[in-house]
Amino acid sequence: METTRFKLFLDVAATGSFSRAATLAGTTQSSVSKAVSQLEAELGARLFDRTGRGAALTAAGRALLPRANALLADVQSLTSLLADLTGAVSGTVRFAVQPSVSWPLAHDLLTVTRQRHPSIRLQISDGTTHQIEEWLADGRCDLGVMSRAPSPEHIEAWPLFSLPLLLVSRAGAAQTARPTLPFSALADVALVAPTAPNGGRMLLEEEARRRGLRLNIAQEVNSASLVKHFTAQGDFCMVATWPWVAVEVAAGVLAATRIVNPVLRQTFSLAVGGRRQPSAAVRAVADIVRELMPSRGWQTTMGSPTLAARPASAVVRP
């Protein structure tokens, strides 16, 4: 079987369209259709339902998807294997990170990687801890930063940093008027939060159970951007880490206060996928992520943000 057919299969699956896949591959729609048909014939299964609106994966196509991703990653790793012998570092590294800490980490990682290893191509995605765990497990991701203790399935994992949780509201709201808020007071706050299991929410729920409290999860929303919008509109408050809301607090859209008694801290780790031995490129990017933490002042910036342009009342210093 030709690996190019698997690549075209993945392109059609990603775009839902033979014509868009052809654009990505720099070829014609008929060539893509022919290659996928040949792959279906070789595998003895229909991979797509073809409709006037595009192409949708069949059950067989969905089953093939993670294996095809892993297969192409293995092929790409051959270049990295030879690079290990020659001393050059190149290849594609798929990096996933939770939205709550993706910025400026993704920017710093891309900048340093391009400076040191211009032949490494980074593919950056964001997702929930659960999604990143799945991507690492089935080979769709090489490295992941997440707020849950990594599974033993992963070859290696390192703790990176720990951040306190903050209560966040629209700017000027009474809930964040004071510099700190006791944990027990959260029971009286209408919260918007992702559905469980979610790292930050699980910390809150576990502490609430220990104290015999019932949190007021007024709305469940599984979208980082929508959670922010609901909070900014003043309908609800949310619990977050500083990097997730620093820009909005600086702009005067949101306000935040520290949760105390107790202070709850969310620990983030870096995990390497366990389906195959990490390539030289994957190890190089992992080293950069670990190095960025102290050298870029992440602990200081995240733990004690300083926003000179904002009045002191609008600045949180966890």
pLDDT digits (tens, 9 = 90+) for 124-182: 999 888 888 888 877 788 899 988 776 666 567 888 888 899 999 999 999 999 999 99
193 in the same domain as 123: no
pLDDT at 195: 84
**pLDDT tens, position by position, 197-241:** 777 888 899 999 999 999 999 999 988 889 999 999 988 999 999
CATH number at residue 238: 3.40.190.290
- Does the pLDDT value for residue 39 go beyond 50? yes
Return the closest-CA partner of residue 105 out of 303, 296, 317: 296
What is the average pLDDT across 51-76?
A: 84
Return the closest-CA partner of residue 143 out of 8, 292, 14: 292
Helices (H) and strands (E) in the chain, counts: 11, 13
144 in the same domain as 114: yes
Considering the chain, what is the average pLDDT of its residues?
Answer: 83
Least confidently predicted of 14-18, 78-82, 88-92, 153-157: 78-82
CATH number at residue 46: 1.10.10.10
Q: What's the domain range around 17?
A: 3-64
Name the residue with tokens 């702009």.
251
Partners of residue 55 on adjacent β-strands: 50
- Tell whether the torsion through CA atoms of 18, 20, 26 and 28 is positive or negative: positive
Please indicate whether residue 50 or residue 24 has the higher confidence score (pLDDT). Answer: 50
pLDDT at 154: 58
170 in the same domain as 132: no
296 in the same domain as 151: yes
- Give the integer Cα–Cα distance in Å for 65 and 6: 9
Return the closest-CA partner of residue 257 out of 174, 194, 162: 174
